Amino acid sequence: MPDDHRRAERLRQAPRTDRSLGERMRAFVEALQTRICKAFERLDGAATFSADPWERRGGGGGLTRVITGGDVWEKGGVSTSAVHGELPARMVEALGVGAGTFFATGLSLVMHPRSPYVPAVHANFRYFALGDDALNPVDHWFGGGADLTPVYPERADAEHFHEVWKRVCDEHEVADYRTFKQQCDAYFYLPHREETRGVGGIFFDYLRDDPEGTFLFVRQAGRAFLSSYVPLVERHKDRAWGERERAFQTYRRGRYAEFNLAFDRGTRFGLETGGRTESVLMSLPPVVRWDYDWHPSADTPEAEALAFFRPHDWLGIGDSSEGSREI
């Protein structure tokens, strides 16, 4: 049993009384934000992240960090927040609980690369607690995930991304790659297009049975994020592209905007509960096209791309409910 698993086991037996899980998660996501922003700045070489601290009227606040106009990143954001206060009515309804106080903290990131050959990525790691006593919450859980949205998808990229997440899941009893992968396909789905948003990844929510074990999983998932994505950026960022690829990229970004504005629960929730609008909508792509009823010609790279936007068993672990691996 690795050291960190042993430490989690000790904490299960003798929970910490000095620092709440919420505070520990908050410290973790803030450190992760710094680390991820530094790595992304290094990758870009030109642009740097801004830092926009903000306060929430009802309690708490956040730090929104955005990078735009870079060589690699056309627009991207890595945000953390730690908010608390009375549960908004909309949340009472959504969670099916009584009125009371809550605490929520997390990191959320979306990166829109300039190159149509570099996939966009989204990741999110969050903790939510109900009740007045942070050390003994009435209820609390973790959620999160990571998913990849290429414009010109390649199987090797999807496989690398999923392999990293499977490896992380396999190390933790609280995590099941196959379930989380299917939840990701189901969540990032555009019913009106009958398309997944991208090539998936993992998605999990309401993990509440083993808080110490789950926090350990979430930390390792957060730390694994860069290794799931940065190799793909490095693989494609210097590949030449032109107007045709740019047009397809901005067209595909329309799907991203459709999903985020019309279907993403986090975005809708943020807009409906008076979240900081610019932070909630930081995920929207920088430039988007909507062409009426456009379809790629047969046997073009654009037509091949579309075959990727349905669930696939990338790692060949067998699941008859999914599409074939053959693309």
User: Looking at the annotation, which residues are catalytic?
Assistant: 122
The least distance separating a copy of itself from the CB of residue 291, rounded to whole angstroms, comes to 7
Task: Count residues near a copy of itself (CB under 8 A).
Answer: 34
Tokens of 295: 């379809």
Q: Considering the complex, state which of residue 67 and residue 104 has its C-beta at the smaller distance from a copy of itself.
A: 67
Query: What H or E segment, with its residue span, contains residue 200?
Result: strand 200-207
CB burial of 65-94 (b: ≥16 within 10 Å; e: otherwise) equals bbbeebebbbbbbbbbbbbbeebbeebeee
Pick between residue 177 and residue 188 the one whose CB is nearest to a copy of itself: 188
Which residues within the stretch 103-162 sit at the binding site for a copy of itself (CB under 8 A)?
Answer: none
C-beta of 193: minimal distance to a copy of itself in Å?
Answer: 6
Contact (Cβ atoms closer than 8 angstroms) between residue 131 and residue 21: no
Site map 62..101 versus a copy of itself, x via CB under 8 A = ----x-x------x-x------------------------
Q: What residue type is assigned to position 322 of the chain? A: E
Residues 233-262, interacting with a copy of itself (CB under 8 A): 250, 254, 257-258, 261-262
Distance separating alpha carbons of residues 158 and 210, to the nearest angstrom: 30
Residue (191 or 318) nearer to a copy of itself, CB: 191
- Nearer CB in complex with a copy of itself: 135/281: 281
The CB-of-68 to a copy of itself minimum distance in angstroms stands at 7
- Is the CB of 131 or the CB of 286 nearer to a copy of itself? 286
- Minimum distance of a copy of itself from residue 192's CB (angstroms): 4
Least distance in angstroms from the C-beta of 130 to a copy of itself: 25
The one-character DSSP state at 199 is S
Within 19-58, which residues bind a copy of itself (CB under 8 A)?
Answer: 52
Q: How far is the CB of 200 from a copy of itself (least distance, A)?
A: 22
Q: Which is nearer to a copy of itself, 172 or 276 (CB)?
A: 276
Of 158-166, 197-205, 265-273, 302-310, the window that binds a copy of itself (rule: CB under 8 A) is 265-273
C-beta of residue 311 within 8 angstroms of C-beta of residue 196: yes
**Contact criterion met (CB below 8 Å) for 299 and 116:** no
Strands (E), 114-199: 120-130, 139-149, 189-190, 195-196
How far apart CA 82 and CA 244 sit, in angstroms, is 42
User: Which residue type sits at 281?
Assistant: L
Say if CB 297 and CB 306 are below 8 A apart.
no
Please state the separation of Cα 103 from the chain's center in Å. 20
Beta-carbon count within 10 A of 105 CB: 26
Q: How far apart are CA 177 and CA 165, in angstroms?
A: 7
Selected range binding a copy of itself among 165-173, 205-213, 276-284, 317-325, rule: CB under 8 A? 276-284
Residues 277-316 close enough to bind a copy of itself by CB under 8 A: 277-278, 280-282, 284-293
For residues 249 and 116, is the Cβ–Cβ distance under 8 A?
A: yes
Q: Which residues bind a copy of itself (CB under 8 A)?
A: 52, 66, 68, 75, 77, 191-193, 250, 254, 257-258, 261-262, 267-268, 271-272, 274, 277-278, 280-282, 284-293
